[in-house]
Structure 1
């Protein structure tokens, strides 16, 4: 039996098939959920507008009442990772594009990347962005880019970087989603994990968070985003690539300084 949070997300999306499509996974996977898995909360929230507190009050209800316990910088980092996870997992809906168009920037590199993303979202047509996403990450047979750690680090899918990642996720108590065919080393899933580590949804020390980033994110994800920036026939996702590359550079510098 589905819980209330999942029912609300399905209703907001317009049905199970529509929710699966919005978050970029198969319909049977969503059909088998009894509640929104922890690793999918931020993506479902962005896709449907149903707050994480309503989707998983067991994870976020208490945190919502004591948000001051989360460092503002970590909260901002979590939001950045959640945004990247959403845009990497599925093409944005018209509703999400409208929300992105309202982003504001500043003179910092990240602020300029936000402003560029907002400009691209304001002029984007949802159907065209969906085509960009398909050509980049899906394609007829395969997309222009393969957003997996194993591929970027070894040239092949499902290689040793994936097995090492699975071992570390198990050590952190993060379980693989049932009936999800997407390997855990997909960039969207790694961004979801980093978001959960940053906002405290996944219990891990700062040292464990840094080690996870340095082992599974920084060696390759910046290159993925740079490849998105230089990909052919894209407009919206070029700005997503610039945002991701800039943010990963900031994260790398911050973790290096902390170390």
Structure 2
């Protein structure tokens, strides 16, 4: 939380910068315990959280469905292995963002294919649910930043003229 609170924006005129600034200010005002409690209420809850941050839920309406199976196959093809200490399924939005961060360093074509196969079709639904959730305060700002970043990602990938076909992850 401390590094978020200390973020310094160079270009304060962009919408992305405004979102980062809002997150930084909220991090200054929030305790780690309150953010952890919000995460628990928002994404885990008792039985189920207010929002489900998993691709298979948004794409099929249930957890552990075909989108997760497809993702696992693609992760294997890309050389990624599941970290056994992680409890959440691999289709959690945070895990998908982590994969995108690794792919940006390696191969933009694979990044574009991965984004379109596993993120593009559902991230807007997730963002809207978080923004409308009663329990969301800190994560509402995170959702705003996620939306802005994913929109920029879509533009960047399309500007690179990445021809995306769902079967091209090799």
- Smaller-chain TM-score bracket: 0.7 to 0.9
Residue 241 (1) aligns with residue 147 (2):
no
Deviations 1:173-225 (A, max 9, x none): 1112235442111111111111111233xxxx321111011110111123212
Aligned residue pairs: how many?
159
Tell me the residue number matched to 1:161: 67
Q: Distance in 1 between matches of 2:64 and 2:78?
A: 21
Residue 98 (1) aligns with residue 7 (2):
no
Deviations 1:45-68 (A, max 9, x none): xxxxxxxxxxxxxxxxxxxxxxxx
1:226–1:245 contact (8 Å) kept in structure 2:
no
When residues 182 and 234 of structure 1 are mapped into structure 2, their CA distance, relative to the original with a 3 A threshold, is closer
Q: Distance in 2 between matches of 1:133 and 1:167?
A: 29
| Aligned match for 1:198, one of 104, 108, 119 | 104
| Aligned match for 1:170, one of 58, 68, 76 | 76
User: What runs of 5+ residues in structure 2 fail to find an aligned partner?
Assistant: 162-170
Higher Cα radius of gyration: 1
| Aligned match for 2:24, one of 118, 121, 141 | 118
2:42–2:135 contact (8 Å) kept in structure 1:
no
Tell me the residue number matched to 2:158: 256
TM-score by length of 1: 0.58
Higher helix share: 1
When residues 130 and 160 of structure 1 are mapped into structure 2, their CA distance, relative to the original with a 3 A threshold, is same
TM-score by length of 2: 0.87
SS of 1:145's equivalent? coil
Q: Distance in 2 between matches of 1:119 and 1:211?
A: 35
Residue 148 (1) aligns with residue 50 (2):
no
User: What runs of 5+ residues in structure 1 fail to find an aligned partner?
Assistant: 1-96
Aligned Cα root-mean-square deviation (Å): 1.4
